[in-house]
Structure 1
Amino acid sequence: MSELGARVAQALAPGGALARAWPGWTARAAQAAMAQAVAQAIEGGGALLVEAPAGSGKTLAYLLPWLLSGRRALVSTSTHVLQRQLAERDLPRLASATGQPVRVALLKGRGRYVCLARLQAAVEQGPRAGAPAEHAWLRELLAWAERGGDGDLDQVAGTDAIAGLHGRITSTSENCARQACARWADCHVERARRAALAADVVVINHHLWLAELQRHHLGRPRLLPEVDVVVFDEAHALHALRAQLGAEAFDQAALQRLWADLAALADGPLRGLQAWRLLAHDGQSATRALAQALAALPPREGRQAWPLGDRLAPWRLAHAVAAAQAALTASGEADPRPRRLLERTRSMAQVLHTLLSSEDPSAVWLDWRSPGDWTCLRPAAQGQDVAALALATAAPLGARSVVHASATLGLDDALGWHRQALAVDAAWSPRALRLVADDQDPSAAALFVPEDLPEPAEATHAQALAERIVPWIARLGGRCLVLATTRRAAQRIAQALQARARPDWRVLLVGERPTHAALEALRRAGGAAPTVVVASGALWQGIDVPGEALQLLVIDKLPFAPPDDPWLRQRLARAQALGADPFSEVQLADAAMALRQGVGRLIRRAGDRGLIVIGDVRLRRRAYGPALLAALPPSRWLDTEAEVDAWLGELAALTRASTTDRSTS
């Protein structure tokens, strides 16, 4: 065993640093095995792919060897929720336990931080016509941003309201005035970046990693520091980035920022240039036309082929840019901002022309993050994306050691699902390690699939599922997390639960309030205020609500990608061309991985117990049901409502006993 391996083993041993710091804590066999594998990768270099079951303690297993090594690291994870959990809870707690001082920085993309200068300008401009509530919200946001903190918009209540204002309250690298800005000393983006450059470990998310890769490909200066070790936590989520690598794209926020910047100059220092005013007008008109055309489409989530054909292709932006350039040159204007803005507009016009004039509309996608928040992109050719991602993980930031960790990397010991999708073998000769839970009791969780619910495609499904789980929520005193496959389904389930909730219940819909606040309410409720959190998206993975705080996990449907998803269609075609079965190799495998992630939210520690409800009758009726069930952690199958009632009785009794023990101790 190496020196680092010995130090790791000593820290994990009974009576070691962690056991002394955390009374009652003991290392799990899977956790110890993973920690040794990570220590070996850090000391010897190379790549490690490791799948560890949900709740096996993989976060500690990769953080501890790194912390004891004294090397500089970057940890990338899949969501902003997990970023904050790592930076504000897991890392400080471990550093305190081991006595190893560590400087931690949490870094997000520029667009996640409020820009004080732009927000202040938006407030000073006064309310827009017909939007007094919007202006009041902006004033509240400015007051919040100036009270201190990190300016992270994910911490703001009412996050759905941000989507339509994002371009007015955040900055881009193009419109940032940098040292010339009156709020430079208070800039949240610069503070976060300076902290990252000085930190021992920087915690980012996979999307920021993608942005760093794009900067590298464009020859732009690096934002992230050089490090020795890179860890991709929730590494399965890297698969979703493949479609974005090398893609041409624009999004709603980028358009909003561009036209807002054009209008600000047209109404200010360049008000005398008619061509500039026409450019701002044409840009805003084009954006309104696009917004109206998209708003007329049926509500949608996820990806879809570009639905508008070439109706918006003949935008006159290129001609307007040329006219504005000529007018600016003739004016002798010395301010560099207009020229930078013209270059942004010219680049945007070229992207718009390329995308919206495509001869193959199916090659252009619209990716909906939420209503009114979208990206239009044309991915790189099939194969180029895989090569780019493999290369990206080959030599990141000069690192010698790379770790991919997740609870879901494959269905075999070689972790083929992950390594094939990312072409990892093209850049490394990675070691694959698949661990089995050593302390998870198969009887800790019970699984129930109601057989009389509507099919998941039926309009009544969400309401029927909500009605079914209300008595179970009441029986357990809340302690419930509902994971929906879409935002729309989450909203419908939350509304149905709120309509049937007792006066003392709290039904919290993530999106209406910050994710961290909803989860903290669930953790702290303890049955005193029966709490239900309803969510989609990010909460399917990585979040940790151990113990009695979560005893009922409800998944509304099997997480199959929509059949018209253009990214899915490309992957199915590719699998077929390679002679594989598209359904089993792509759709079923993806659904199995996602379902395993969701189910893994329930049992997080030894002694945890609970009920999993999957409201999708296809698990009982379709031939693929057994394959999906086989991919899940072992649990007790409940076949009838009577068995569910008996199981809930056991859980309620255990909770009462535990509460009594705590009150008398």
Structure 2
Amino acid sequence: MSLKKQIQSILGKDGQLSQNTPDYEVRHAQVEMAETVADVIEESQTLLAEAGTGTGKTFAYLIPALLSGKKVIVSTATKTLQDQLLSKDIPLLMDICNAKGTAKILKGRENYICPQRLEIAETAEQNTKEVWRKLSLIHDWQEKTLVGDKSELTSLDENDPLWSRVCARMEFCQANECTGDNGCFYPGVKQQATDAEILIVNHHLFCADLALREQGFGEILPEADIYIFDEAHQLPDIAAQFLGFSVSRFQLDELVRDVRLAYKKESPESIELSDQAKAVEDKVRIFNEALGKWEKRWTWESFSEAKTGHKTLEHLRNQLSLLADVIKPLTDRGKLLSALYKRTQEFEKQIETWLKASSENQIRWIESSQARFKLNLTPLSVAAPFSRQRDALGGAWVFTSATLSVNQSFDYFAHRLGLESARTHQWESPFDYDQQAVIYHPIGLPDPKHPDYIKICLRAAWPLLLTSQGRAFLLFTSHKALQEAKVILSQHWEGTLMVQGDGPKTTLLARFKETDNAILLGTSSFWEGVDVKGDALKLVLIDRIPFIPPDDPVVQARESFLKQKGLSGFFNFQIPEATIALKQGVGRLIRDSSDKGVLMLCDPRLTQKSYGKIITNSFPSFKWVYDVNEAKEKLL
């Protein structure tokens, strides 16, 4: 039986899903997408597939992939989707598709505990009582876990910096040639992943593997026959992170701390080692001071003009070289020194590359503030290396998301990854946006640069907030605007006010769903990957078109590059980026066929500027209203 016929027998009317799943409805867009994916798999092609919310794209790509019997790598943007695939969707569909083999998740090595680094951390004299308490929690968990994945360690905050001291870092593993035989979890987890027929990863790990292959240093992931990227709109920016690099003050401070620990544990007679650690610490501080105490983003040009900063960075690089020279003859003294030698060399090499980079495809920039800095080298385009590695790996490639197109065209996304020859297809959402919701665009709001803009937006939203009794997301393009809204609403809103940063994202969302009269204020991280169905969410407000600040060094470099080609940086970069981000925010409101509500778009430029039409043409088919009473009717 052909793949298409098998798909019909599963997804079609009276198919297996219909017989085995309560309330199952045949979605023609889902069936059509699954059949298109089947064609792409059989012909080893590349597909760009935009599938609107509610299409059922997960089943549409999983079913043909499982039916094919080939090795599959699925890359996602979020841990939530990874867990859903492994624990729910894939087991159900493997059974229905009668697929053989196993499915596994593989995360980056720094998600796994390193027993040897934990042992080293437990012997550090500088540990505080709080650090000792956390290390004890990690130790107890490590003795029970089977895979060593930190997601199991619920007693420690997932962002706790202590984890960086005990995880399976690459330079430590390589220096000590770790294997599963010495209690290390990662080699065993990686082997199981290599043997799995379906491997679930995230975009960060896939791009880390891509970067290693591009540099000729080997690979992390096995090769597959089918590569599927869900939430693929995030992929170009993540690839740019891994095909470039960054060096931060935090990383260098951590290096100094570990050198001091190695001095005490593995080479206490080497006073020079301690002295060199102090010298690096001083040079790091001096460089940070040279950048100034105000928060700033430096282009290469502005940094070059600040002669003091340039000179102090060269001094820091030279000091790292001296530290590496001191560590080198000591590497046989212990595992920590062996790993530190590789780490110090890598930092020296990265700073040297940053200072001397000359390729027009490399953007050099710095983020700095009073006690922090980060050197960044970002490729202007990842199209060439991504396309090169895709050709080398071969197979079928599927890129899918609800937000791949801009003004009904895939050109922007395709160009960013070198996918110009790919097949493309859009499947509309099955939701009846015209009946389920409206876009409320209040007339008479000032330009977003107006000093009272947020206050005026909230005043316009107030009748809706009262009518909906909260149950609202207010999404902002900046933390400054969010904080301004927080101050205003805390003085007037009698219900519950939740603010991004008050707790973990998942905790805030759980509280929001369970709390009456709740308003949640968020910035970029709440614009996507957030799913609140039903009456818990009735109103979504978005304050501005999410343009990237024009003083951003990456923006300046990309706009300058486009200008040299005779193209507008605004229309060929800023507009597409803003459109995709705004489409994600718009997608927060309607998550189910029974949802109803109001999407309030404040920015007057959407209707007053010519480019507004390009952006709004990319939205679902909402009805637009301009009178607050019409909007209120959708909330009753």
1:292, 1:153 → 2: CA distance? 37
CA spacing shift, 1:19–1:182, aligned 2, 3 Å: closer
Q: 1:653 maps to what in 2?
A: none
CA spacing shift, 1:545–1:328, aligned 2, 3 Å: closer
Aligned runs of 1:128-167 on 2, under 5 Å?
148=145, 151-152=149-150, 162=160, 165=162, 167=164
Aligned match of 2:507 in 494, 508, 517?
517
1:323, 1:591 → 2: CA distance? 45
Shift of 1:423: 2.0
1:442 aligned counterpart, secondary structure: helix
2:171 aligned counterpart, secondary structure: coil
- The Cα offsets for residues 107-145 of structure 1, whole Å up to 9 and x where unpaired, read as 3223344555545654654666xx766666666666666
Q: 2:400 maps to what in 1?
A: 405
Q: 2:167 maps to what in 1?
A: 170
Aligned match of 2:264 in 263, 267, 271?
267
Q: Which amino acid aligns with 2:170?
A: S
1:560 aligned counterpart, secondary structure: coil
Shift of 1:642: 1.8
Contact 1:463–1:496 under 8 Å retained in 2: yes
Contact 1:304–1:565 under 8 Å retained in 2: no
Q: 1:655 maps to what in 2?
A: none
- The Cα offsets for residues 530-580 of structure 1, whole Å up to 9 and x where unpaired, read as 444443334433443333343222223211111112222222223333333
Q: 2:574 maps to what in 1?
A: 587
Q: 2:595 maps to what in 1?
A: 608
Contact 1:318–1:346 under 8 Å retained in 2: no
Q: 2:440 maps to what in 1?
A: 448
Aligned runs of 1:64-79 on 2, under 5 Å?
64-79=63-78
Contact 2:297–2:365 under 8 Å retained in 1: no
Q: 2:347 maps to what in 1?
A: 348
- The Cα offsets for residues 155-200 of structure 1, whole Å up to 9 and x where unpaired, read as 86996963x5564343421124898889987655445434422333
Q: Do structure 1's residue 207 and structure 2's residue 194 form an aligned pair?
A: no
2:104, 2:297 → 1: CA distance? 36
1:203 aligned counterpart, secondary structure: strand
Q: 2:46 maps to what in 1?
A: 47
Aligned match of 1:572 in 547, 551, 559?
559
Q: Which amino acid aligns with 2:172?
A: N
Shift of 1:601: 2.3
Q: Which amino acid aligns with 1:597?
A: Q
- The Cα offsets for residues 59-100 of structure 1, whole Å up to 9 and x where unpaired, read as 221112112223221111234444344334443454466565
- The Cα offsets for residues 599-648 of structure 1, whole Å up to 9 and x where unpaired, read as 12222332322211223233244333233222211112121222222221
For normalisation by structure 1, the TM-score amounts to 0.82
2:452, 2:151 → 1: CA distance? 35
Q: Do structure 1's residue 298 and structure 2's residue 289 form an aligned pair?
A: no
1:43, 1:636 → 2: CA distance? 41
1:78, 1:645 → 2: CA distance? 35
Could you say what the CA RMSD is over the residues aligned between the two structures, in angstroms? 4.0
Q: 2:246 maps to what in 1?
A: 249
Q: 1:661 maps to what in 2?
A: none
Q: 2:15 maps to what in 1?
A: 16
Q: Which amino acid aligns with 1:517?
A: T
Q: Do structure 1's residue 435 and structure 2's residue 427 form an aligned pair?
A: yes
Q: Which amino acid aligns with 1:175?
A: F
Instruction: Select between 170-179 and 298-307 the one with higher mean Cα deviation.
Output: 298-307
1:233, 1:26 → 2: CA distance? 23
Aligned runs of 1:172-251 on 2, under 5 Å?
172-176=169-173, 187=184, 189-190=186-187, 192-241=189-238, 243-244=240-241, 246-251=243-248
CA spacing shift, 1:118–1:132, aligned 2, 3 Å: same
Contact 1:156–1:514 under 8 Å retained in 2: no
For normalisation by structure 2, the TM-score amounts to 0.85
CA spacing shift, 1:216–1:324, aligned 2, 3 Å: closer
CA spacing shift, 1:352–1:84, aligned 2, 3 Å: same
Instruction: Select between 139-148 and 348-357 the one with higher mean Cα deviation.
Output: 139-148
CA spacing shift, 1:7–1:531, aligned 2, 3 Å: farther
CA spacing shift, 1:521–1:197, aligned 2, 3 Å: farther
2:480, 2:172 → 1: CA distance? 35
Contact 1:449–1:614 under 8 Å retained in 2: yes
CA spacing shift, 1:596–1:158, aligned 2, 3 Å: farther
Contact 2:193–2:199 under 8 Å retained in 1: yes
Contact 2:54–2:430 under 8 Å retained in 1: no
Q: Which amino acid aligns with 2:426?
A: R
Structure 2: stretches of 5+ with no match in the other structure: none
CA spacing shift, 1:203–1:267, aligned 2, 3 Å: same
CA spacing shift, 1:611–1:66, aligned 2, 3 Å: same
Contact 2:294–2:370 under 8 Å retained in 1: no
Contact 2:288–2:373 under 8 Å retained in 1: no
1:618, 1:392 → 2: CA distance? 41
CA spacing shift, 1:304–1:517, aligned 2, 3 Å: farther
1:621, 1:518 → 2: CA distance? 36
CA spacing shift, 1:23–1:324, aligned 2, 3 Å: closer
1:447 aligned counterpart, secondary structure: strand
Shift of 1:403: 0.5
Shift of 1:27: 2.7
Aligned runs of 1:340-419 on 2, under 5 Å?
340-356=339-355, 363-366=363-366, 375-380=374-379, 382=380, 385-396=382-393, 399-411=394-406, 415-419=410-414
Shift of 1:347: 2.9
1:439, 1:565 → 2: CA distance? 37
2:543, 2:141 → 1: CA distance? 36
1:558, 1:118 → 2: CA distance? 46
2:126, 2:612 → 1: CA distance? 54
Instruction: Select between 256-265 and 297-306 the one with higher mean Cα deviation.
Output: 297-306
CA spacing shift, 1:477–1:495, aligned 2, 3 Å: same
- The Cα offsets for residues 391-430 of structure 1, whole Å up to 9 and x where unpaired, read as 233344xx511011122222366621222222223xxx42
1:72, 1:82 → 2: CA distance? 20
1:77, 1:327 → 2: CA distance? 40
CA spacing shift, 1:98–1:498, aligned 2, 3 Å: farther
CA spacing shift, 1:464–1:441, aligned 2, 3 Å: closer
CA spacing shift, 1:224–1:313, aligned 2, 3 Å: same
1:301, 1:8 → 2: CA distance? 53
CA spacing shift, 1:363–1:10, aligned 2, 3 Å: closer
Aligned match of 1:281 in 278, 281, 289?
278
2:119, 2:331 → 1: CA distance? 30
Identity in percent: 26
Shift of 1:501: 4.8
2:39, 2:322 → 1: CA distance? 58
1:430, 1:360 → 2: CA distance? 28
Contact 1:265–1:338 under 8 Å retained in 2: yes
Q: Which amino acid aligns with 2:257?
A: A
CA spacing shift, 1:41–1:200, aligned 2, 3 Å: same
2:385, 2:179 → 1: CA distance? 40
CA spacing shift, 1:340–1:119, aligned 2, 3 Å: closer
Q: Do structure 1's residue 639 and structure 2's residue 634 form an aligned pair?
A: no
1:280 aligned counterpart, secondary structure: helix
